[in-house]
Structure 1
Amino acid sequence: MSSVFDEFSSSAALYPERPFLHIPALAASAYSASAVDYSYREMATAVAALAAEFAAAGYRCGHRLGLMLENRAEFFSHWLALNQLGVSVVPLNSEMQPDELAYLIEHSDIESAVALEQTVALLQQANQLLAAPIAIVTPAQLAELPAPRRAGSERRPDSDSECALLYTSGSTGKPKGCILTNQYFTAFGAWYRDAGGLCQLEPGAERLLTPLPLVHMNAMAVSTMGMLMTGGCVIQLDRFHPSSWWQSVRDSGATIVHYLGVLPAILLNLPASANDDCRGRVKFGFGAGVNPKHHAAFEQRFGFPLLEAWAMTESGCGGTIIANREPRHVGSCCFGKPSVAVEYKLIDEQRREVAAGQPGELLVRARGDNPRYGFFAGYLKNSEATAEAWRDGWLNTGDVVRAGSDGSLYFVDRRKNVIRRSGENISALEVESVLVQQPAVDLAIAIAVPDELRGDEVMALIILAAGQQPSHELAEQIVTTALQGLAYYKVPGFVAFVSELPMTASQKPRRADIKALGQQLHSSGDCFDTCALKKRQPNVTAASRSPL
């Protein structure tokens, strides 16, 4: 098959009456009086109608269109319809601030955007910041969608056609647009279908529940493609609701759940219940980042394995590694052994391979004649960053890993300036660039500090401008101001005011030393806690929320 739409059409022909999508009533309560359900046949009908509307508006292969449709059925139908025409989708996160969205709109060259009625105003605010505003319509207004400004192509989309442009926060400031082809998505679906072991998928039978946002790779490329290419059903939640999680699992008939590390921690804190044991119902959980001390306790209490995996948007399935076979080394940050399809090596900061058992940066590539098979196609408008990511012919991940004696890999740390909070990759440089715009701030460095629930939390070490005095009130003022330019989850949850920071001879921050200093200040309490300010902003609707 050459495209996501082709794979969907194949499954729709094989499993027309099987459920394709189920959104439980609670997850749909903001806009529906009941659960939302689509069979493969029903989704195919909706997709055909939408494709006809987009085609009538002049959308063709080579165009891009933004989608701010949250975790709703409309996201799936619009994505598939546009993919049929060869139009790439750019998922837009309604938790972002207008200037963040303006950057994505301008950088991605999207022709227009389809948004839910309650998020149109947010996109319009972003539009006002642009020299060339785009058209914004709701799903009910597609007939009013103007023709694209750029010419498209009449060629039929194929495996190399761009399917989606996903933005990921890296180590160099502004988010980078990862170009993902049809092959990226179909290869991931095939990977999941064929992985076997403890994550064996039964064709036409699985029901996969995920609370993860459709603006991210996991929900689009892993859960959706895994189900779409095996005739399974995606159970899409609006977000993670701890109090009703197990009810949703039971009522939806989920056989698989996807998670982030924060979910097991929260679920273990819930009161014990007679309904805790999911043996015989849930086969496995697929995710990453579970706290090692929670891993065994979760499996014992709830009765199914949490299969830890490693991947990143750039790696696609070409570098994915998962602990889907024993021994999984539960409680040790182990994410399994690389399959025969994945080559890897671990290097030190001088790019030398490390000795056995020593930690080093993980480099990955696909084995065989095409080392980039299944990986991203590159960063949009940033060939330099693409070349750096593929330095020496390997994807340089920035994650520090060690190998055990049996070949299993264990996550150790991140070498990149990236903070991983509740599944969101946050660029330290992006946070710093917003903080230093404030008159009270002379220098700011953002780091990750440990968080029991979220994995990482953002901490800012700040040198104040002359005349400013450290105080809790000033820390809150700085964070509150930062909320005007950053999504809530990116702003610092802790602020430490310092008189100086470790610097190199050329006056560049010594980030390893600064990270150690920050973690020391955090553990000793010599900082101000601003976590209470990290709340979803009013422009966010009830149906579009990150897991935490």
Structure 2
Amino acid sequence: MAQVSSPYQAFARTAARRPDLTFALAPASARLPWAPEGFRISYGEAAADVAALRAAYVAAGYGRGSRLALLMQNRPEFLLHWLALNAIGASIVPLNSDMRPDELRHQMTVSVAEAVIAVPGFDTLLAGVPEGIPVASPDAPPPAARAIRVPDGGHPEDEAALLFTSGSTGMPKACILSNHYFLNVAEWYVSMPGLGAMTPDAEVSLTPLPFFHMNALGCTAVGMMLIGGAIVPLDRFHPDRWWATIADSGATIVHSLGVIPAILLQRPATPDDTRHRARFTFGPGVDAQHKIDFEARFNLPIIEGWAMTETGGSGVTDTAGVSYEPGRRCIGRPRAGMEWRIVNDADEDLPLGQAGELLVRSAGADPRRGFFSGYLGNPEATEEAWRGGWFHTGDIVAADAAGLLYFVDRKKSIIRRSGENISALEVEAALAADPAVKAVAVTPVSDPVRDEEVFAFIVPADESPDAAALLERVADRLSYHKLPGYVLYAEALPVSSTQKLQRGQIKSDAEAAVSDGRALDLRRTKGALRKAH
């Protein structure tokens, strides 16, 4: 495979070689709000659009080192604007349209993006854009750059995107992701062995995952650009039209998360269930029994995997070409060139088979090669994650004698709901800001469909507040998926002698409260708030 040094170069190479190939599409059965009749764009057509956008951004003064925020959902225009900006050495901040204004303000403040390019319909959210930052439509000329920069793209270590990821220290942190990062992720993705092997100029990769996640942006988007494949970007997962969309798009690869097989297995059988021609679904985080049932019913094997935004394609595992005992949560074999250890709390290596925290790095002279370039504006957090020369994942895993890794649990205060990482500390801060709340502790609880759900222990400031009304108030500050699905009012929270929350006790108490029905189940209320906002 000829060398390219940026996502734009990967795209441009394919567009020059095979302009006739489909770049992006969606069938009418997807019922996309922005393309109800479906759409199809060739690489040649996309290249012409990218060239025009590139010229417009250059005319507005943008170039190497510029950074703009994109609020475009999973529309094809997102990819066109990203490629145009990547071509001139500028970076993007993909924005989640489900955010609240305060969350957007945080991301804009941290990223120091100098403009927002946004599709219509998000005026309430855009109220969170700090004063003085221009907002423009994707169809309008870009606003003038704050400072004139020279267009100069293609540098491997230059920033290509800034993705926010929830961590254990509160508000989401901004991961700096380079051109090399994205190509490294894509090259791993298109080079998987066995069932995951891909054919150049023939693959169609469908994803319901958002472009503000590295999975959709790095694997699906850049991966397909690298090998001349087509991208099927959906607005989100819709169970009622999932199989029809896969079949009608001609998808050969399907992306999902653990929640998707769980939901599909609950639905009645339809003729569309096996009408597809997909070879596999790439679905990290699938329950072990759900995997067995899903593959048998839908004739679609699941390739499991593990990675983080921070680890990219250098700290990654997958089960492609791997045999293991069904019913175990295997995350596969580490990629060649990835060094790893399993350690205790003192970072001491554990015996084979014993579960501990996974530490990872790249082999060779640069242990950070292919990983994120750091947390923007937070070098302390970056170095803490890399303490001792190893990236600390916060995930508890075990290994077997064959070198396969098995996921056990999460060490950090992270809630993994429907593929989204949610910081317990961020949710606690939002709840604590409400005058009806005296103290709060948030923890994950098991959920048979969404992997985990948000649970909040609340010590009321006075009498117990109406839980639904409390959720509605907090929904002004948090995206709906971060809201508690369960609430339990308590007189006090379990703390240690140093007044630190006893997270382990809190988690086990939450599981017990759900199991015996003492917790208030607010999942329907939470779902209604998503629609209302």
Question: Under a length normalisation based on structure 2, what TM-score does the superposition of the two structures give?
Answer: 0.96
Q: Please list, as runs of the form range in 1=range in 2, the aligned pairs for 1:529-548 lying within 5 A after superposition.
A: 529-535=521-527, 537=530
Match of 2:372 in 1: 376
Match of 1:138 in 2: 137
In 2: Cα distance, 1:501 partner to 1:273 partner: 48
Asked whether the equivalents of residues 28 and 36 of structure 1 are also in contact (C-alpha less than 8 Å), the reply is no
1:118 aligns with 2:121: yes
Gaps (5+ residues) in structure 2? none
Q: Deviations over 1:283-322 (max 9, x none)?
A: 1111211122211111111112101100110000000100
Question: What is the deviation of 1:200?
Answer: 0.2
Q: Which moved more, 1:475-484 or 1:165-174?
A: 475-484
Match of 1:520 in 2: 512
1:261 aligns with 2:258: yes
Q: Which moved more, 1:514-523 or 1:53-62?
A: 514-523
In 1: Cα distance, 2:36 partner to 2:210 partner: 22
Which amino acid in structure 1 is aligned with residue 133 of structure 2?
A: I
Asked whether the equivalents of residues 328 and 335 of structure 1 are also in contact (C-alpha less than 8 Å), the reply is no
Residue from 49, 61, 66 that aligns with 2:52: 49
In 1: Cα distance, 2:373 partner to 2:51 partner: 28
Asked whether the equivalents of residues 184 and 375 of structure 1 are also in contact (C-alpha less than 8 Å), the reply is yes
Q: Please list, as runs of the form range in 1=range in 2, the aligned pairs for 1:6-45 lying within 5 A after superposition.
A: 6-27=9-30, 29-45=32-48
Q: Which moved more, 1:9-18 or 1:61-70?
A: 9-18
Question: What is the deviation of 1:481?
Answer: 1.4
In 2: Cα distance, 1:33 partner to 1:398 partner: 42
Asked whether the equivalents of residues 118 and 137 of structure 2 are also in contact (C-alpha less than 8 Å), the reply is yes
Match of 2:155 in 1: 158
Match of 2:191 in 1: 194
Asked whether the equivalents of residues 24 and 237 of structure 1 are also in contact (C-alpha less than 8 Å), the reply is no
Question: Under a length normalisation based on structure 1, what TM-score does the superposition of the two structures give?
Answer: 0.94
Asked whether the equivalents of residues 89 and 151 of structure 2 are also in contact (C-alpha less than 8 Å), the reply is no
Asked whether the equivalents of residues 61 and 152 of structure 1 are also in contact (C-alpha less than 8 Å), the reply is yes
1:485 aligns with 2:477: yes
Asked whether the equivalents of residues 88 and 152 of structure 2 are also in contact (C-alpha less than 8 Å), the reply is no
Residue from 303, 324, 331 that aligns with 2:327: 331
Which amino acid in structure 2 is aligned with residue 291 of structure 1?
A: D
Match of 1:229 in 2: 226
In 2: Cα distance, 1:291 partner to 1:33 partner: 33
Match of 2:408 in 1: 412
Question: What is the deviation of 1:24?
Answer: 2.2
**CA 1:153–1:28 in 2, change beyond 3 Å: closer, same or farther?**
farther
Question: What is the deviation of 1:189?
Answer: 1.2
1:82 aligns with 2:74: no
Question: What is the deviation of 1:275?
Answer: 3.9
Match of 2:288 in 1: 292
In 1: Cα distance, 2:28 partner to 2:64 partner: 36
Asked whether the equivalents of residues 325 and 336 of structure 1 are also in contact (C-alpha less than 8 Å), the reply is no
Which amino acid in structure 1 is aligned with residue 120 of structure 2?
A: E
Per the alignment, in what secondary structure is the counterpart of residue 126 of structure 1?
coil
Asked whether the equivalents of residues 114 and 138 of structure 1 are also in contact (C-alpha less than 8 Å), the reply is yes
In 1: Cα distance, 2:151 partner to 2:96 partner: 30
Which amino acid in structure 2 is aligned with residue 214 of structure 1?
A: F
Which amino acid in structure 1 is aligned with residue 404 of structure 2?
A: S
1:245 aligns with 2:242: yes
Per the alignment, in what secondary structure is the counterpart of residue 202 of structure 2?
coil
**CA 1:328–1:10 in 2, change beyond 3 Å: closer, same or farther?**
farther
Match of 1:546 in 2: none
Question: What is the deviation of 1:276?
Answer: 2.6
Gaps (5+ residues) in structure 1? 541-548
In 2: Cα distance, 1:370 partner to 1:393 partner: 10
Question: What is the deviation of 1:176?
Answer: 0.2
Per the alignment, in what secondary structure is the counterpart of residue 42 of structure 1?
helix
Q: Which moved more, 1:379-388 or 1:222-231?
A: 222-231
Q: Please list, as runs of the form range in 1=range in 2, the aligned pairs for 1:428-443 lying within 5 A after superposition.
A: 428-443=424-439
Which amino acid in structure 1 is aligned with residue 348 of structure 2?
A: R
Q: Deviations over 1:424-465 (max 9, x none)?
A: 110100000011111221111110001111111000011222
Match of 2:298 in 1: 302
Asked whether the equivalents of residues 261 and 455 of structure 1 are also in contact (C-alpha less than 8 Å), the reply is yes
Asked whether the equivalents of residues 278 and 303 of structure 1 are also in contact (C-alpha less than 8 Å), the reply is no
**CA 1:511–1:22 in 2, change beyond 3 Å: closer, same or farther?**
same
**CA 1:133–1:537 in 2, change beyond 3 Å: closer, same or farther?**
farther
In 2: Cα distance, 1:323 partner to 1:200 partner: 12
Asked whether the equivalents of residues 168 and 425 of structure 2 are also in contact (C-alpha less than 8 Å), the reply is yes
Match of 2:209 in 1: 212
In 2: Cα distance, 1:205 partner to 1:370 partner: 35
In 1: Cα distance, 2:153 partner to 2:81 partner: 18
Asked whether the equivalents of residues 122 and 539 of structure 1 are also in contact (C-alpha less than 8 Å), the reply is no
Identity percentage over the alignment?
A: 44
In 2: Cα distance, 1:76 partner to 1:450 partner: 36
Asked whether the equivalents of residues 201 and 227 of structure 2 are also in contact (C-alpha less than 8 Å), the reply is yes
In 1: Cα distance, 2:42 partner to 2:328 partner: 41
CA RMSD in angstroms, aligned pairs only: 1.6
1:282 aligns with 2:284: no
Question: What is the deviation of 1:410?
Answer: 0.8
Question: What is the deviation of 1:105?
Answer: 0.9
Asked whether the equivalents of residues 440 and 493 of structure 2 are also in contact (C-alpha less than 8 Å), the reply is no
How many residues align? The count is 529
Q: Please list, as runs of the form range in 1=range in 2, the aligned pairs for 1:344-359 lying within 5 A after superposition.
A: 344-359=340-355
Residue from 495, 501, 510 that aligns with 2:487: 495
Which amino acid in structure 1 is aligned with residue 495 of structure 2?
A: M
Q: Deviations over 1:221-244 (max 9, x none)?
A: 111111110100011111111111
Residue from 76, 96, 104 that aligns with 1:93: 96
Per the alignment, in what secondary structure is the counterpart of residue 331 of structure 2?
coil
**CA 1:273–1:213 in 2, change beyond 3 Å: closer, same or farther?**
same
In 2: Cα distance, 1:181 partner to 1:450 partner: 35
In 1: Cα distance, 2:405 partner to 2:370 partner: 21
Question: What is the deviation of 1:23?
Answer: 2.0
1:508 aligns with 2:500: yes
Per the alignment, in what secondary structure is the counterpart of residue 337 of structure 1?
strand
Match of 2:71 in 1: 68
